[in-house]
Amino acid sequence: MGDVTRTDWIWMDGEFVAWEDARIHILTHTMHYGYGAFEGTRAYKRSDGGTSVFRLDDHLGRLANSSHILQLPLPFSREEIRAATLELLKRNKLESCYIRHLVYIGQGAMGLNPGDNPVRLAISTWPWGAYLGEEGLAKGVRCKISSFTRPFPNSLMTKAKVVGNYVNSILAKREAISLGYDEALLLDLDGNVAEGSGENLFMVRNGKIYTPPLNNVLEGVTRRSIMELAEWKGHTLEERGFTRDEVYTADELFMTGTAAEVTPIREVDDRQIGNGKPGPITRDLQDTFFAIIAGDVPEWSHWLVDVPMAARASDQDSKATSAAAS
Ligand code: PMP
């Protein structure tokens, strides 16, 4: 039980530590108050058999921004974190997986002021399939407008992936699940639809794509990617706020996120969206996204950072065989 994240290694503060030894003290400051930052990134197996990380440098950039916002100086350089991430993927031999960077305040002073407690960094990886299910990806998911409001940027920082911010997301997610839905959509303080518990939102009306502006939402790497792809595919897109009743009458709706990838929404608050099936623009962008991460779209290969995997046993066998033959 609880071992679905089991791999060989976890990287902690510059060391590769065996998964079962990756422990922290109960007085770790972030455990008590949620003051820390994290990042979620995915690596994908390409159709040529290799593995690459999707937009690693953009994710590491956001990690740096989150840490900057929280005034937590990252204890390693961007280059060191990047190299550690790639080495960890290689050591864990995972072809497709999720990657979690966590910046946290270690043990020392308690109380709200962490004082001189060390800032620590851990990187973990684990296999993670479709976040909202394969069926959700194929047919769309059912959402509920949450009774919880997205944090107001002047109370919690919405541009940083702050550990404690996710209490709001978990409350919304659990409420939606317990009421029989797949995911929550949260409104901002003005009553506009902001985002999912861990996803950005896109709406299609009369052939045009809309997404809420960044005021109250996380600046999703997948959101930015979809905006760039929409333009590349010749769709028109506008960032503007919209209300829940506009969402009810949308032609298409979809969510984006590292975990959720590009997931169509087929129902909101028991109202069918469009004809209840993923629409053509959603499909087009979803197909393009999956083709890119599989390494099949050369125009966007710069989004993929290759993981230099150790030569597989089968490769070595075939090399040995061909060496013997020559
Ligand atoms: N909004 C929230 C609140 C999130 O947690 C996430 C996941 N990081 C997203 C949006 C989507 O961001 P990204 O595409 O960078 O994963």
Instruction: Classify residue 93 by burial, with Cβ atoms within 10 Å: 0-12, 13-18, 19+.
Output: middle
Q: Which residue has the higher pLDDT, 313 or 144?
A: 144
**Res. 4 pLDDT band, cuts 50 70 90:** confident
Catalytic annotation, pick one of 161, 173, 233, 277: 161
Answer whether 223 contacts ligand 1 (Cβ < 6 A).
yes
Cβ proximity of 277 and 300 under 8 Å:
no
pLDDT digits (tens, 9 = 90+) for 148-157: 999 998 999 8
Please spell the DSSP secondary structure of 177-207, one letter per residue: HHTT-SEEEEE-TTSBEEEESS-EEEEEETT
**Res. 209 pLDDT band, cuts 50 70 90:** very high
Q: Whose CA is nearest to atom 13 of ligand 1?
A: 220
SS3 118: coil
Task: Please confirm, yes or no, whether 139 is among the known catalytic residues.
Answer: no
Cβ proximity of 190 and 240 under 8 Å:
no
Q: What are phi and psi of 37, to 5 degrees?
A: -135, 155
Q: How far is the CA of 221 from the centre of ligand 1 (A)?
A: 7
Average pLDDT over residues 176-195: 98
pLDDT digits (tens, 9 = 90+) for 51-86: 999 999 999 999 999 999 999 999 999 999 999 999
Answer whether 256 contacts ligand 1 (Cβ < 6 A).
yes
Average pLDDT over residues 93-110: 96
pLDDT digits (tens, 9 = 90+) for 229-283: 999 999 999 999 999 999 999 999 999 999 999 999 999 999 999 999 999 999 9
Average pLDDT over residues 12-17: 98
Answer whether 211 contacts ligand 1 (Cβ < 6 A).
no
Give the model's pLDDT for residue 283.
98
pLDDT score of 322 more than 80: no
Looking only at the bridges linking them, the beta strands covering 208-211 and 236-239 are parallel
Instruction: Classify residue 288 by burial, with Cβ atoms within 10 Å: 0-12, 13-18, 19+.
Output: buried
Q: What rounded mean pLDDT belongs to the chain?
A: 94
Q: How far is the CA of 316 from the centre of ligand 1 (A)?
A: 40
SS3 140: coil
Question: In this structure, is the dihedral angle defined by the CA atoms of residues 15, 19, 25 and 28, taken in order, positive or negative?
Answer: positive
pLDDT score of 318 more than 50: no
Answer whether 286 contacts ligand 1 (Cβ < 6 A).
no
Ligand 1: atom nearest CA of 62 is: 15
Answer whether 114 contacts ligand 1 (Cβ < 6 A).
no
Closest CA relative to residue 44, chosen from 261, 200, 298: 261
